[in-house]
């Protein structure tokens, strides 16, 4: 059965993103109660929206790590210093491996950029020009997840720390992931 006045895709996305005002939300919810086709489309968009909300970005804040731990995710933290080249074991009983890319003076940092390349090549896997960083810890928290096992395991991570005067410091780490 089709709808005579279907809710637009944009409206449904705004609904699931929490961007509708109260009147728009009430009107849409009343429509969804009586319209199977719009309810089906809404459920499809909700599934995509919730999947995106659940995704964990490659670099997170300490508050996000604490939140994930409180939700029951099993995780371990390893600390790497600039210049480190290390094998990092990701056991099968963990949900997340947090790599604390530390040894940085972030007291005057205005911006930190992150890039990950396949070790020894120029092949870029991830570039994030402005990542969250933990000023007090002097670290950036890199999150490794089990599904990363499909990526090349031996990577070079680079942090570019920009300070107020415009100068930049670079820290490099070499990580050889091993998934159990």
Q: Give the CATH number for residue 70.
A: 2.60.40.10
26 pLDDT above the threshold of 90 = yes
The predicted model gives 17-38 an average pLDDT of 91
pLDDT digits (tens, 9 = 90+) for 29-47: 999 999 999 999 888 888 7
* Number of domains within the chain: 2
Nearest to 121 by CA among 163, 150, 156: 156
Q: Within this chain, do residues 140 and 77 fall inside the same structural domain, yes or no?
A: yes
The answer to whether the CB of 144 falls within 8 A of the CB of 91 is no
pLDDT digits (tens, 9 = 90+) for 61-76: 999 999 999 999 999 9
**Residue 63: which domain range?**
59-179
What is the percent of the chain where pLDDT is above 70?
97
Q: Within this chain, do residues 149 and 86 fall inside the same structural domain, yes or no?
A: yes
Q: Within this chain, do residues 30 and 75 fall inside the same structural domain, yes or no?
A: no
- Between CA 144 and CA 150 the distance in angstroms is 12
49 pLDDT above the threshold of 90 = no
pLDDT digits (tens, 9 = 90+) for 93-133: 999 999 999 999 999 999 999 999 999 999 999 999 999 99
- pLDDT score recorded for residue 52: 61
Q: Within this chain, do residues 81 and 48 fall inside the same structural domain, yes or no?
A: no
Q: Within this chain, do residues 72 and 33 fall inside the same structural domain, yes or no?
A: no
- Between CA 156 and CA 174 the distance in angstroms is 4
């Amino acid at each position: 059965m089709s709808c005579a006045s279907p809710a637009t895709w944009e409206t449904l996305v705004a609904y699931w993103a929490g961007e509708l005002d109260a009147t728009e939300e009430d009107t849409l919810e009343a429509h969804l109660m009586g319209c199977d086709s719009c309810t089906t489309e809404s459920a499809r968009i909700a599934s995509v929206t919730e999947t995106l909300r659940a995704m964990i970005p490659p670099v997170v804040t300490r508050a996000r790590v604490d939140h994930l731990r409180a939700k029951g995710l099993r995780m371990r933290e390893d600390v790497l210093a600039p210049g480190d080249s290390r094998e990092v074991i990701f056991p099968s009983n963990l949900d997340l491996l947090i790599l604390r890319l530390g040894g940085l003076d972030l007291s005057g940092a205005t911006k930190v950029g992150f890039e990950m390349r396949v070790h020894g090549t120029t092949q870029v896997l991830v570039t994030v020009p402005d990542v969250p960083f933990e000023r007090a810890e002097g670290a950036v928290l890199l999150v490794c997840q089990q599904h990363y096992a499909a990526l090349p395991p031996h990577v070079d991570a680079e942090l570019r720390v920009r300070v107020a005067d415009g100068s930049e410091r670079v820290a490099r780490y070499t990580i050889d992931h091993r998934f159990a």
